[in-house]
C-alpha cells in the first residue's frame, strides 16, 4: 500500500491510500489579489476506463494564512504509523449548496475584465522549494508575475512516482492558457518528500 501524506507547517492535512484512487492531485495556488497568502487543495477520484461511474473526492481544502505557509508531500509505503484519511464528495462538504449546472467554465468577457481589474493587495510574494533530490531553490516573483502554483499529481499509470511542478505566472497567461515561468519540474518517488513554501 502506498500512502501520500500532505502536511501544512508540520500538521497533517491529508493521508490518502493511493490504491483507492486513479488520480490524486495536491495544489498550492496563490496570487497578489487575494486576501490570503495561498490555498491548498488535495483532491482526486476514480475514473473507470470502461465508462463506469466516476467518483470525485476532496481530502483537503484550506487557506494558508499567516506570514508563511509550508506544504510537504511525502509518498510512503506501508507499514505506516498513521491512518489514511477519507475524502468527501462535494455534496458531503457543502450539503446546502445546490448542484452546479454550469458545464462551460470558459471565462466570459465580463469575468475576464473583472479578473484583470482586481487590485493587488500586496506587493510581492516569495517561494522556496526543497526538491526530492535534495536541491533547494528559492526566489521572489518577477515584475510581471502576480500568481504562483505548485502541484504534485499522481496517476495510476505511473504508480511508483508523482509528477511535481512549480511555476509563476500572471492573469494574462492564465486567461490565454499560456505557460508562465517554470520554477521546477520533476518526480516524487516512494520514500521521498517535496516541500514548497510561500511567503510575502
Looking at residue 36, its pLDDT comes to 85
End-to-end C-alpha distance for the chain, whole angstroms:
38
pLDDT tens-digit series, residues 121-143 = 988 899 999 999 999 999 998 88
Q: Give me the chain's average pLDDT, please.
A: 90
Buried b (16+ CB within 10 A) or exposed e, 137-169: eeeebeeebbbbbbbbbbbeeeeebbebebbbb
Q: Which of 43, 1, 40, 5 is nearest to 193 (CA)?
A: 5
pLDDT tens-digit series, residues 68-103 = 579 999 999 876 777 888 999 888 888 888 877 777
Going by DSSP bridges, is the β-strand pair 136-140/147-155 parallel, antiparallel, or unpaired?
A: unpaired
Rounded Cα–Cα distance for residues 51 and 43 (Å): 20
pLDDT tens-digit series, residues 150-198 = 999 999 999 999 999 999 999 988 888 888 899 999 999 999 999 999 9
Rounded Cα–Cα distance for residues 20 and 86 (Å): 10
pLDDT tens-digit series, residues 102-120 = 778 888 899 999 999 999 9
- The set of cell numbers assigned to 9 is 507547517
CA dihedral 134, 170, 28, 73 (to 10 degrees): -20
Looking at residue 176, its pLDDT comes to 86
pTM of the model: 0.90
Instruction: With beta carbons less than 8 A apart as the criterion, state whether 17 and 4 touch.
Output: no
Does residue 60 register a pLDDT over 80?
A: yes
Amino acid at each position: 500500500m502506498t500512502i501520500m501524506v500532505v502536511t501544512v507547517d508540520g500538521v497533517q492535512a491529508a493521508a490518502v491510500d493511493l490504491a483507492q484512487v486513479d488520480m490524486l492531485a495536491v495544489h498550492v495556488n496563490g496570487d497578489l489579489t487575494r486576501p490570503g497568502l495561498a490555498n491548498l487543495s488535495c483532491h482526486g477520484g476514480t475514473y473507470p476506463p470502461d465508462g463506469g461511474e466516476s467518483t470525485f473526492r476532496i481530502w483537503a481544502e484550506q487557506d494558508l494564512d499567516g506570514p508563511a505557509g509550508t506544504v510537504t508531500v511525502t509518498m510512503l509505503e506501508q507499514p505506516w504509523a498513521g491512518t489514511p484519511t477519507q475524502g468527501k464528495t462535494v455534496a458531503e462538504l457543502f450539503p446546502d449548496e445546490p448542484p452546479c449546472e454550469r458545464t462551460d467554465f470558459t471565462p466570459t468577457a465580463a469575468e475576464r475584465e473583472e479578473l484583470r481589474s482586481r487590485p493587488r493587495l500586496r506587493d510581492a510574494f516569495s517561494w522556496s522549494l526543497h526538491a526530492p533530490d535534495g536541491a533547494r531553490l528559492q526566489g521572489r516573483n518577477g515584475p510581471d508575475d502576480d500568481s504562483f502554483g505548485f502541484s504534485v499529481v499522481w496517476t495510476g499509470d505511473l504508480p511508483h512516482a508523482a509528477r511535481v511542478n512549480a511555476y509563476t505566472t500572471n492573469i494574462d497567461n492564465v486567461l490565454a492558457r499560456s505557460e508562465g515561468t517554470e520554477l521546477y519540474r520533476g518526480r516524487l518517488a516512494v520514500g521521498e518528500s517535496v516541500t514548497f513554501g510561500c511567503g510575502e
